[in-house]
Amino acid sequence: MSWPYSLLFNSAFRRMDPERAHELAFSLIERAGKVPVLRDVVQGAVAPYLGQRSGGPGSVRLFGRVVPAPFGLAGGFDKNARAVRGLTMLGFGFIEIGTVTAHAQPGNEKPRMWRELDVRGVRNRMGFNNEGAAAAADRLRALRSTATGRAIVVGANIGKTKVTPPEEAAADYATSARLLAPWADYLVVNVSSPNTPGLRDLQATESLRPILQAVRAAADEANATAAGGRRIPLLVKIAPDLADDDIDAVADLVLELGLDGVVAVNTTIGHDRGPGGLSGPPLLGRGIEVVARLRERLGTGPVIIGVGGITRADDVRAYLRAGADLTQGYTSFVYEGPLWASRINRALTRSAGSTASGRYE
Ligand SMILES: Cc1cc2nc3c(=O)[nH]c(=O)nc-3n(C[C@H](O)[C@H](O)[C@H](O)COP(=O)(O)O)c2cc1C
């Protein structure tokens, strides 16, 4: 943590309710991102590597795009695609919006987010509070109407609406996929958040198969008319709490269905700190282990996005060595401050070449 942020964190944020602090920081980022001159100056100063969209050192060719830097923002921070420009300005190599559900919903009752200061972690049971897939799609459509907005690599993470019964899950996911596929660079089917009752049961391959098939079909159908037939990459996001055999089963399903990859991992319920999923440094070891296991089983084809417990560039390097193509983070943003992503991506783009993946420039 740099000292100016450390001062701000200890004197202000730390004393505030965590969700309130998130909303405050979020609205500052959202608003700053809407002022073109400010945005360009900040981005030019903190994230010069983003200017090299045709592929500078450390960039990664994936999803038919050049991802300018390997560390991006994980799902859950910008659930409604409100601050994609502002977050990019701060140096994330790509942004995953969501989780978005087919229908708008309020999420769980508050409080639903806690700091776990001793481990620099966060615990949450937000429950997919979001404005619904149509609202997020409208914002992404507006983003894509400008050249600078089109240049940003954006993933859309979709989940199940809470009130939708499990037997209608596939149709619920498909609704979101249809709305978002024309505007996103990749889709993530989230079946791993611990805060929607029964959601993680959908990771079982017999439940997951029909969902992924329905999402694939809906996305293809939408893009046939709205996006010139572009086939959007489809990934699935899994929990760190899956048994190793279940991780293998998901990997086998990815291969069977010709899916494009896996995002690993979501928050863990393997803790005794209270309700909700834990994120941050305690996840790092298991996250890397899951990525390594997936890479072994998947071979070189499918993409793996590694996420969980990343604080520094070395953590990203560990994920990349384990077989990830890209990485993401959320929790350490809270503790490290606004320059966090830029510090990591600057270090990675400086040391490019040592990160060894065929997809690296
Ligand atoms: C407050 C909070 C909300 C989250 N919401 C989502 C979400 O909506 N969808 C999702 O796929 N992951 C969500 N996550 C999980 C993160 O995307 C990530 O997988 C996890 O936190 C591990 O990364 P980290 O240790 O860098 O935070 C959330 C995490 C936090 C802390």
Establish whether residue 155 lines the binding site of ligand 1, counting it when its CB lies within 6 angstroms of any ligand atom.
no
Is residue 15 over pLDDT 60? yes
Distance 328 CA to ligand 1 centre (A): 10
Q: How confident is the model at residue 132 (pLDDT cuts 50, 70, 90)?
A: very high
Q: In ligand 1, which atom is closest to the CA atom of 159?
A: 9
Instruction: Write the pLDDT tens digit of every residue in 48-62.
Output: 999 866 667 789 999
Distance 267 CA to ligand 1 centre (A): 6
Percent of the chain beyond pLDDT 90? 84
Establish whether residue 190 lines the binding site of ligand 1, counting it when its CB lies within 6 angstroms of any ligand atom.
yes
Q: How confident is the model at residue 354 (pLDDT cuts 50, 70, 90)?
A: very low
The predicted model gives 251-270 an average pLDDT of 97
Is residue 356 over pLDDT 50? no
Percent of the chain beyond pLDDT 70? 96
Ligand 1 site-directed mutation target among 180, 191, 266, 344, most atoms within 8 Å of CB: 266
Is residue 361 over pLDDT 70? no
pTM: 0.96
Residue 188 lies in a domain: yes
Residue 273 lies in a domain: yes
What are the structure tokens assigned to 14, written together?
């730390």
Cβ pair 215, 174 in contact under 8 A: yes
Q: Which range has the worst mean pLDDT, 45-49, 52-56, 128-132, 259-263? A: 52-56
Residue 250 lies in a domain: yes
332 is catalytic: no
Domains in the chain, number: 1
Residue 358 lies in a domain: no
Residue 356 lies in a domain: no
Residue 357 lies in a domain: no
Residue 316 lies in a domain: yes
Select which of 59, 193, 279, 342 is catalytic.
193
Contacts (Cβ under 8 Å, ≥6 apart) of 210: 170
Domain limits at 214? 3-350
Distance 279 CA to ligand 1 centre (A): 7
Establish whether residue 108 lines the binding site of ligand 1, counting it when its CB lies within 6 angstroms of any ligand atom.
no
Q: How confident is the model at residue 330 (pLDDT cuts 50, 70, 90)?
A: very high
Is residue 226 over pLDDT 50? yes
Instruction: Write the pLDDT tens digit of every residue in 164-192.
Output: 999 999 999 999 999 999 999 999 999 98
Establish whether residue 307 lines the binding site of ligand 1, counting it when its CB lies within 6 angstroms of any ligand atom.
yes
CATH of the domain at 125: 3.20.20.70
Is residue 10 over pLDDT 50? yes
Give the chain as a 3 state SS string: CCHHHHHHHHHCHHHCCHHHHHHHHHHHHHHHCCCHHHHHHHHHHHCHHHHCCCCCCCCEEECCEEECCCEEECCCCCCCCCCHHHHHHCCCCCEEEEEECCCCECCCCCCCEEEEHHHCEEEECCCCCECCHHHHHHHHHHHCCCHHHHCCCEEEEECCCCCCCHHHHHHHHHHHHHHHHHHCCEEEEECCCCCCCCHHHHHCHHHHHHHHHHHHHHHHHHHHHHCCCCCCCEEEEECCCCCHHHHHHHHHHHHHHCCCEEEECCCECCCCCCCCEEECHHHHHHHHHHHHHHHHHHCCCCEEEEECCCCCHHHHHHHHHHCCCEEEECHHHHHHCCCHHHHHHHHHHHCCCCCCCCCEC
Is residue 9 over pLDDT 80? no
Question: What average pLDDT is seen over the chain?
Answer: 93
Ligand 1 site-directed mutation target among 119, 279, 291, 334, most atoms within 8 Å of CB: 279
